Amino acid sequence: LFLKWYKKNSMQAETIKNELISLADNEKATILTSFFQTKKGQYAYGDLFLGVPVPQIRKVVTPYKSLQLKEIAKLLQSKFHECRFAALVLLVDQFTRGNKIERETIYNFYLSNTQSINNWDLVDVSAHKIVGAWLKNRDRCVLYELAKSDSLWDQRIAIVSTLAFIRINQFDDTLRLSEFFLTHNHH
């Protein structure tokens, strides 16, 4: 019985990935590849798309709301963009529903996996809902560390996270980071 439970729970990332692959649409994948600039020299070089729309991704992950972080990590490390998006949807949901310890764990997990949060939609669906939400009433120096990173996506996480502060009428960090990014070379 334990082996059956273990097999089921340790294979959930693979199940989600396979469900997303089964929904693949080559035509949409081609459009997304161009839209998200995945050619050599572009910001998302090498990113692979299945062509699965966001509503379908959200539907696929709905039964897995309690997926363990080690399984979410597998999705987040996937070569497929939609798998990483699915992982972030799950993380946001778990963070929103979590207690203080769970939220802190997810916040730290998120920051230790930013190398996989490597496109604007991945950042935009998650940064303010996890990093920004966690930092609302805390020291925000991590945002300035992210802003100084060589990674475009860490930099985006820094500024997008401040949306959580804007929503509670706190603008200082957004303005400070915006000033820092005024001369940024990326559009």
CA-to-CA dists, residue 156 to 11, 179, 187, angstroms: 32, 14, 11
Instruction: Count Cβ atoms within 10 A of the Cβ of residue 22 and give its class: 0-12 exposed, 13-18 middle, 19 or more buried.
Output: exposed
**What pLDDT sits at residue 99?**
98
In the chain (187 residues long), the average pLDDT of successive 10-residue segments reads 50 94 93 82 82 97 97 97 98 98 98 96 97 97 96 96 98 94 78
Q: What is the DSSP letter of 39?
A: S
Burial class of 66 by CB neighbour count within 10 A (0 to 12, 13 to 18, 19+): exposed
pLDDT of the residue at 81: 95
DSSP 115: G
pTM: 0.91
Instruction: Decide: 143 and 114 in contact? Cβ < 8 Å.
Output: no
Give the helix, strand, coil percentages of the chain, each rounded to 5: 65, 0, 30
